[in-house]
Amino acid sequence: PRAGRVPAGHCRVPCVADTNDGAEIFDEGREDISRHALREDGGAPQADVDRCDVPRHVAVIMDGNRRYGRRVHGSAARGHWEGGNALINFVRWCMAERVEILTVYAFSTENWRRSEGEVRVLMSIFIRYFDELRKEALLRGIRVNVLSSTESKLPQDVRDGIHRLTTSTAHCKFFVLNICMSYGGRDEIVGACRSVARAAVCGNLQPEDLTEDDIRSRLLTGLYGIPDPDVLLRTGGDVRISNFLLWQTAYAEMFFLECEWPEITREDLVDVIQRFARKRDRRFGQ
């Protein structure tokens, strides 16, 4: 088993069995703690690098929630909930370090293959989490986008929560948080290709005129005008990108951490930013 760190300062919630509906992980104080955490200012930047050397867009594969929950609490569901706490902290740290855009992999198309009980717990967490995130995003000026390549698979109450979250924060301009949910990179590219094919059938695009921009603009990130990530960070110890932003990460600097997602610290983020800044001479094949 991987050695892990037990994070300090994370709120504790009651244990929940992996097969129930997840209700027991919602204690009354959880929302107040999350709300307070996101309202706190992350303080001055700690990376000590020039603004121009800070990655504008960081993408994260938040891996290790289940393993952490089972190892530390004996409950995978509790690991998922504490992973939500870690995301709140990570958003604050990114804002303090002058990162402008954060894209996180919350639920992949492959995650639908997990047990019915675990998926049900995750959907319950998402519903509650989205409502809390909406309140705090409005206070901090955070625009939240939810990118889904298979949105139709999501339960209606989850889609309703996504709609409330994204429409309520659409005007915010201080920071952008993209949550990839029921998302797969291959599905996203296939969807873009279908859009190109429809344009060609309608006579609006000739095959010989097809460019990368025609594909890029039809990706989910392109629909929101989101630039490609400068950095891809993955926790959990695995060294792969797992069908995440396959097109967009072509030139991203990749960092793989041994810690599981709920254990992520600000020092981890600062180290990634500093390492990125040291290799800032990115030639993109030239």
pLDDT of residue 286: 61
Side-chain-side CA neighbours of residue 92 (13 Å): 23
In this prediction the pTM is: 0.86
End-to-end CA distance of the chain: 42
Q: Which of 283, 258, 280 is nearest to 64 (CA)?
A: 258
Catalytic residue among 18, 63, 230, 268: 63
Amino acid at position 151, single letter: E
> Read out DSSP for 140-191?
HTEEEEEE-SSGGGS-HHHHHHHHHHHHHHTT--SEEEEEEEEE-HHHHHHH
pLDDT at res. 32: 52
Q: pLDDT value at position 230? A: 97
Q: What one-letter code names the amino acid at 69? A: G
Q: Please state whether beta strands 253-256 and 101-108 pair in parallel, antiparallel, or not at all (unpaired).
A: unpaired
Distance CA 256, CA 237 (A): 7
Residues recorded for the chain: 286
Cα 68 to Cα 88: distance, rounded to the nearest angstrom: 17
Catalytic residue list contains 53? no
Token pair recorded at residue 63: 């891996």
- Cα 279 from Cα 281, distance rounded (Å): 6
Do 65 and 111 meet the contact criterion of CB atoms below 8 Å apart?
no
- Asked if 21 is an active-site residue, the reply is no
| Catalytic residue, candidates 20, 27, 53, 111 | 111
Could you give the CA distance from residue 245 to residue 188 in angstroms, rounded to a whole number? 8
Question: What is the rounded CA–CA span in Å between residue 123 and residue 127?
Answer: 6
pLDDT of residue 136: 87
Two tokens at 283? 């030639």
**Local confidence pLDDT in tens for the 286 residues of the chain:** 444 454 443 433 333 334 444 445 544 444 454 555 555 667 889 999 999 999 999 999 999 999 999 999 999 989 999 999 999 999 999 999 999 999 999 999 999 999 999 999 999 999 999 988 999 899 999 999 999 999 999 999 999 999 999 999 999 999 999 999 999 999 999 999 999 999 999 999 999 999 999 999 999 999 999 999 999 999 999 999 999 999 999 999 999 999 999 999 999 999 999 999 998 666 656 6
Amino acid at the residue 62:
M
Give the containing element (helix H, strand E) for 105: strand 101-108
